[in-house]
Amino acid sequence: MKKSILLSFTSIVAVAAAGPAIGQDLERDYSTVTDEMLLNPDPGDWLQWRRTVNNWGHSTLDQINRENVGELELAWAWAMAELGQQEVAPIVHDGIMILATNQNQVDALDAATGDLIWSYNHERPEFEGGYHNNQANRQKNSVAFYGDSVILTTVDAKLISLDALSGQVEWEVQVNDWEAGYSFTAGPLIADGKIFTGTSGCSIVGTNGACWITAHDAETGEELWRFNTIDDPNNPAVDDSWNGVPAENRWGASPWTTGAYDAELGIVVYGTGMPIPYPEITRGTGDGDVLYTNSTVALDAETGELVWYYQHLPRDNWDLDSPFERIFLDADVDGEMRRIVLTTPGKNGITFALDAATGEYLWSQETIYQDTITSISEDGEITINEDLIMTDFEEFVTHCPSLVGGRLWQATAYNPNTGLYYLPARNTCGILGAAELGEVAPGNAVGAIRFGGIELAPGAQLGALHVLDIQNGGAAVWDIQSDFAFTSSTLVTDGGLLFVGNSNRYIMALNDETGEELWSTRLNAPIGGYPMTYEVDGVQYVAVPAGQSNQTHANLSPGLGLPRTGGNSVFVFRLPQ
Amino acid sequence: MSESSNPRRHWLFGLVAGAALALGTGTASGQIAENVLPEQLENWRIATGDTIRYCHYPASPTAEFERALGEEIASRLLLASSFQSLPTGYGIDGQFFFEDLFIQLTNDCDIALGLAIEPGFFPVEFTVLQPYANFGYVLVVTDPSITGLRDIPRNERIGTEIGSRGETRLASYILTLPRDQQWQRLPYGDPELMLTRLLDGTISGMVLYGPTFARLRQGHPDEELHVLSLDPVQGASINVGGALLAERVFLRAVVDPVIGEMIEDGTIMQLLEEHGLADALATPGAR
């Protein structure tokens, strides 16, 4: 259903006076985003983080393809003024691009021309805490379309609905207590009339005992259910795994990446992060696996009840966080097509396939250099490298990857036509010590882990792009090793192209089957965020965020020079008209 | 405040200290500096040659002591002093802490007070002053029959402040014991919650920072709390001092002797007593 919206002069005054959105007069056709559209978006749209609720990061557009990508030219660019990490995920619907950036500022732009339609400035508390101030500078894929609205998650743990054409606040919900430490850094998943969120900040002392996945009515924001990732009275295995440490003395398992939804199974899946503190001798859990840290949890989308879980890294001692994107797809498993959850869940870069209905372990594949897991049995039982567990507070260990990965938030992509899966990562090792001198500011609840530095993994280059054949048990197809880190997420299209960017400011289009570089151009800053593609009036565009990133690791890239300013911007390319 | 026996010496130190404050700084190269956004750093320095700018934690249990200490240091150098707040609210893993400290010491402060001072703890971007005090960790119980750690039955639990020196020292000691002789340790981020659990019997003892307990006790004057030493746990104390950017060696060179003098002439002890910290197992200087 399309509707035409004309904002009158009166309503513009009302808009200007009502709050922090700045709008302008326009007449624009806009179609309500429905649940059906979320499951099967128009090829020209990119409605949420990875375009579709199964998190593929794949576009069916092919106007830009292997034959002509070398002709790409800049259509327009936009500066996102707020300083901070560049982790933006542009979304597009009906020719409107929404950019949610740091400090939860949101800009709506004409996706064809780059004209500003409206801006929203989030009003938030003054943070006294360093954690929130820093996380405000690294907001990720914070928005998604639904109905006639744009749904925003914020650093002060709010869920906000903005009118898609004016940016006016329609409603807002305080989901968690930000003063306790809770926050959002990742954006919402919207499906089946619900908004799902994953919480950040579960390393702050005030968040003891609970970290949350929540579901809300997509029209009103009313909370429908919530699931606690570190305490589950319905599952005795959870308490057992913490070796007698009560829930109020637990921290971690933060689900700080947007989840995925499967309509047939009626489930959402989220990944969870590491336990806090990292070393078990500090957290007092002994050899306990500490559920549901570093796990995939599958929840009934209606009720939030746990359907299944699988722990990818039990008994984590190294901050090898496993919250990263889960992907639903159909894959050939031993000659049988099955719906699976595919994920490279954690920093150690091991890719897993799990049965989507049951969580049954199917297979796994290592990618980057890692030494924290020594083996995975045929039924998915993980054996960690106990030689790397600190047993004394004077002890330092070197483990691979370091706590910066491996892989991090830069997202993978899956092409259903080729069965190929793309993982940007790094080859590093790190030195970590249990916090003998952990109380850096005594009496102020400011902890610290002793880091001994980050170095390259033995015999490796820093940047690594791995490509696996998911229809063939995750077999390695090809990889690219580079002196420069891959600092952006990946985008794969039916034009036969893979887009990815690096710390040396190059955005590249590769042949998605061979890895041959077909086009590249150099921008103002390290490529960041989530490159994406869309179509307006028959013209395909590719949008590329660029800006400061903590994943450049300049000290491991000889000769890499970084700009003096962060340079947060988005660049939009198209073929010559 | 003590009088100097050598006014001329302090006049010279004042001149030198002022010059030290006025010197421009570059930035040291390291992982912390690399993580900081360039726009967050001010590329100029305001000439504050007559003032030591301190950063500290106003909510810290030693905040007033450190304010008085900082003022006295500045006074002995014939300088003024100003104080700004350091942010708290970091994760237990300390994420962002050193980056923010680097930004504050670049933009806003000359010296950050109230930090743990131990060799090799700070990244290369920082240097430290000599510790001005050492504070101990105490064991607190409600049962008067418990006169020491060993009196706590091994099947009972002990609470600790998460990430604290007291916690790691106790945990290290526990690891030396036979498995059936080990207490279970429960980490707490909130001293009030830990006290609640001590009072309801969930834990039989709690280990916390001496100054933190001194403040906690003020809020619970009627509770029967017994403060014990952590013996036989060794090293359950922490040296506290100030941190600066690594290139401020000149400033460190003029401030360190003043701290040393204040330890020697009893000023630090006097300030500890005046601020109710003498009972918090506090001693001037390093241990």
Contact A83 B37 (CB under 8 A): yes
Q: Which residues contact A290 (CB under 8 A, 6 or more apart)?
A: A241, A242, A250, A252, A275, A283, A314, A315, A316
Question: Can you give the C-alpha Rg of chain A in angstroms?
Answer: 22
B209 chain-A contacts, CB cut-off 8 A: 439, 442-443
What element of type H or E holds B270?
Answer: helix B267-274
What element of type H or E holds B165?
Answer: helix B165-175
Of residues A16 and A240, more confidence is placed in: A240
Distance CA A373, CA B223 (A): 49
Residue spans per domain, chain B: 7-134+238-284, 137-228
Tokens found for residue B162 = 């998460």
| CA dihedral for A137, A139, A140, A145, sign (positive or negative) | negative
Distance CA B129, CA B253 (A): 9
B187 chain-A contacts, CB cut-off 8 A: 245, 249, 277, 282-284
Weakest-pLDDT range from A244-253, A524-533, B56-65? B56-65
The pTM for the full model equals 0.91
A245 chain-B contacts, CB cut-off 8 A: 186-187
> Could you report the per-residue pLDDT of B2-30, keeping only the tens digit for each?
333 333 333 333 344 444 454 433 334 46
What pLDDT score does A444 carry?
A: 60
* C-alpha A459 chain-centroid distance: 29
Per-residue pLDDT of chain B (287 residues; tens, 9 = 90+): 333 333 333 333 334 444 445 443 333 446 787 778 777 888 676 666 799 999 998 888 899 999 999 999 999 999 999 999 988 778 777 778 888 999 999 999 999 999 988 777 788 899 999 999 999 999 999 999 999 999 999 999 999 998 888 998 999 999 999 999 999 999 998 899 999 999 999 999 999 999 999 889 989 999 999 999 999 999 899 899 999 999 999 999 999 999 999 999 999 999 999 998 886 678 999 98
Measure A257 CA to nearest chain B CA, in Å: 18
Contact (CB, 8 A) for A368 and A407: yes
Region B137-228: CATH code: 3.40.190.10
B201 shares contact with chain A (CB less than 8 Å): no
Query: Among B125, B118, B121, which residue's Cα sits nearest to residue B100?
Result: B125
Cis amide leading into B211 (omega within 30): no
What pLDDT score does A449 carry?
A: 58
In chain A, which residue's Cα lies nearest the Cα of B136?
A: A442
Distance CA A246, CA B182 (A): 18
What pLDDT score does A25 carry?
A: 45
Measure A441 CA to nearest chain B CA, in Å: 5
Contact A130 B89 (CB under 8 A): yes
Region B7-134+238-284: CATH code: 3.40.190.10
Name the DSSP letter for residue B130.
P
Substitution target in A87, A135, A183, A444 with the highest count of B β-carbons within 10 Å is A444
A208 shares contact with chain B (CB less than 8 Å): yes
Tokens found for residue A304 = 């939030």
Distance CA A535, CA A574 (A): 10
What pLDDT score does B165 carry?
A: 86
Query: Among B269, B129, B187, B138, which residue's Cα sits nearest to residue A282?
Result: B187
Same fold, B7-134+238-284 and B137-228: yes
Q: Determine whether B8 is exposed, middle or buried from the number of CB atoms within 10 Å of its CB (0-12, 13-18, 19+).
A: exposed
> Could you report the per-residue pLDDT of A73-130, keeping only the tens digit for each?
999 999 996 788 889 999 999 999 999 999 999 999 999 999 999 999 999 998 877 8
What pLDDT score does A205 carry?
A: 86
If pLDDT is split at 50, 70 and 90, which confidence band does A270 have? very high
- Phi, psi at A134, each rounded to 5°: -75, -40
What is the rounded average pLDDT of the residues A149-157? 97
A246 chain-B contacts, CB cut-off 8 A: 186, 202
Strands (E), A367-474: 373-376, 382-384, 396-399, 413-415, 420-426, 428-433, 450-456, 463-469
If pLDDT is split at 50, 70 and 90, which confidence band does A480 have? very high
Tokens found for residue A16 = 């200007």
Contact A393 B87 (CB under 8 A): no
Distance CA B37, CA B41 (A): 7
Distance CA A285, CA A268 (A): 29
Please give the ipTM for the structure prediction.
0.85
- Residues composing chain A: 577
Measure B47 CA to nearest chain A CA, in Å: 24
